[in-house]
Structure 1
Protein backbone atom coordinates (compact mmCIF):
# COMPACT_ATOMS: atom_id res chain seq x y z
CA UNK A 1 0.00 0.00 0.00
CA UNK A 2 2.97 2.31 0.39
CA UNK A 3 3.42 2.17 -3.38
CA UNK A 4 0.18 4.13 -3.81
CA UNK A 5 1.93 7.16 -2.34
CA UNK A 6 4.09 7.19 -5.49
CA UNK A 7 1.65 5.83 -8.06
CA UNK A 8 -1.26 8.21 -7.49
CA UNK A 9 0.78 11.43 -7.96
CA UNK A 10 2.56 9.86 -10.94
CA UNK A 11 -0.79 8.96 -12.56
CA UNK A 12 -2.17 12.43 -11.89
CA UNK A 13 0.95 14.04 -13.34
CA UNK A 14 0.81 11.92 -16.50
CA UNK A 15 -2.89 12.63 -16.92
CA UNK A 16 -2.29 16.35 -16.55
CA UNK A 17 0.59 16.16 -19.00
CA UNK A 18 -1.64 14.40 -21.56
CA UNK A 19 -4.39 16.97 -21.07
CA UNK A 20 -1.90 19.81 -21.57
CA UNK A 21 -0.60 18.19 -24.76
CA UNK A 22 -4.16 17.82 -26.06
CA UNK A 23 -5.04 21.44 -25.28
CA UNK A 24 -1.81 22.62 -26.90
CA UNK A 25 -2.65 20.68 -30.08
CA UNK A 26 -6.13 22.23 -30.11
CA UNK A 27 -4.66 25.74 -29.92
CA UNK A 28 -2.16 25.00 -32.68
CA UNK A 29 -4.96 23.92 -35.06
CA UNK A 30 -4.15 20.23 -35.40
CA UNK A 31 -7.84 19.34 -35.67
CA UNK A 32 -8.94 22.15 -37.97
CA UNK A 33 -8.97 20.27 -41.29
CA UNK A 34 -9.89 16.65 -40.63
CA UNK A 35 -11.24 15.98 -44.12
CA UNK A 36 -8.34 17.56 -45.99
CA UNK A 37 -5.91 14.68 -45.52
CA UNK A 38 -8.60 12.12 -46.32
CA UNK A 39 -9.43 13.87 -49.58
CA UNK A 40 -5.83 14.69 -50.47
CA UNK A 41 -4.86 11.03 -50.65
CA UNK A 42 -7.53 10.33 -53.26
CA UNK A 43 -6.17 12.78 -55.83
CA UNK A 44 -2.87 12.44 -57.67
CA UNK A 45 -0.46 15.32 -57.76
CA UNK A 46 -0.08 16.94 -61.13
CA UNK A 47 2.98 15.63 -62.92
CA UNK A 48 5.62 18.19 -63.70
CA UNK A 49 7.17 17.96 -67.17
CA UNK A 50 10.72 16.65 -67.31
CA UNK A 51 10.49 14.25 -64.39
CA UNK A 52 10.14 10.49 -64.29
CA UNK A 53 6.71 9.08 -63.51
CA UNK A 54 8.19 7.21 -60.51
CA UNK A 55 8.79 10.63 -58.89
CA UNK A 56 12.46 10.09 -58.20
CA UNK A 57 13.18 13.63 -59.25
CA UNK A 58 15.66 12.66 -61.94
CA UNK A 59 15.21 14.43 -65.26
CA UNK A 60 14.32 12.36 -68.33
Structure 2
Protein backbone atom coordinates (compact mmCIF):
# COMPACT_ATOMS: atom_id res chain seq x y z
CA UNK A 1 0.00 0.00 0.00
CA UNK A 2 2.84 2.37 0.79
CA UNK A 3 4.47 1.68 -2.59
CA UNK A 4 1.24 2.51 -4.42
CA UNK A 5 1.01 5.95 -2.80
CA UNK A 6 4.70 6.75 -3.15
CA UNK A 7 5.20 8.54 -6.47
CA UNK A 8 8.95 9.08 -6.13
CA UNK A 9 9.91 5.80 -7.79
CA UNK A 10 7.61 6.56 -10.72
CA UNK A 11 8.93 10.07 -11.24
CA UNK A 12 12.52 8.78 -11.07
CA UNK A 13 11.71 6.09 -13.62
CA UNK A 14 10.13 8.65 -15.94
CA UNK A 15 13.17 10.91 -15.59
CA UNK A 16 15.41 8.03 -16.68
CA UNK A 17 13.07 7.22 -19.59
CA UNK A 18 13.11 10.89 -20.61
CA UNK A 19 16.92 11.00 -20.69
CA UNK A 20 17.09 7.77 -22.70
CA UNK A 21 14.45 9.10 -25.12
CA UNK A 22 16.41 12.35 -25.55
CA UNK A 23 19.59 10.42 -26.33
CA UNK A 24 17.78 8.15 -28.77
CA UNK A 25 16.01 11.04 -30.48
CA UNK A 26 19.21 13.02 -30.89
CA UNK A 27 20.72 10.15 -32.84
CA UNK A 28 17.92 8.38 -34.72
CA UNK A 29 14.63 10.30 -34.70
CA UNK A 30 14.39 13.60 -36.52
CA UNK A 31 11.01 14.62 -35.08
CA UNK A 32 11.59 13.96 -31.39
CA UNK A 33 8.40 11.98 -30.86
CA UNK A 34 9.84 9.82 -28.08
CA UNK A 35 11.00 12.87 -26.17
CA UNK A 36 7.57 14.46 -26.47
CA UNK A 37 5.87 11.24 -25.35
CA UNK A 38 8.17 10.88 -22.33
CA UNK A 39 7.61 14.54 -21.41
CA UNK A 40 3.84 14.08 -21.66
CA UNK A 41 3.98 11.01 -19.41
CA UNK A 42 6.05 12.94 -16.89
CA UNK A 43 3.54 15.80 -16.85
CA UNK A 44 0.68 13.35 -16.32
CA UNK A 45 2.44 11.71 -13.38
CA UNK A 46 3.26 15.08 -11.82
CA UNK A 47 -0.38 16.16 -12.21
CA UNK A 48 -1.57 12.93 -10.58
CA UNK A 49 0.86 13.45 -7.73
CA UNK A 50 -0.17 17.08 -7.29
CA UNK A 51 -3.94 16.62 -7.42
CA UNK A 52 -4.67 13.07 -6.27
CA UNK A 53 -2.05 12.38 -3.60
CA UNK A 54 -3.63 14.74 -1.03
CA UNK A 55 -6.94 12.94 -1.50
CA UNK A 56 -5.26 9.58 -0.90
CA UNK A 57 -3.51 10.95 2.18
CA UNK A 58 -6.77 12.27 3.60
CA UNK A 59 -8.51 8.97 2.90
CA UNK A 60 -5.93 7.11 4.96
Sort the TM-score into its range (normalised by shorter chain): 0.3 to 0.5
Greater relative contact order (CA < 8 Å, ≥ 6 in sequence): 2
Q: Select the structure of larger CA radius of gyration.
A: 1
When normalised by structure 1's length, the TM-score is 0.43
Query: Is the helix fraction higher in 1 or 2?
Result: 2
TM-score (norm 2): 0.43
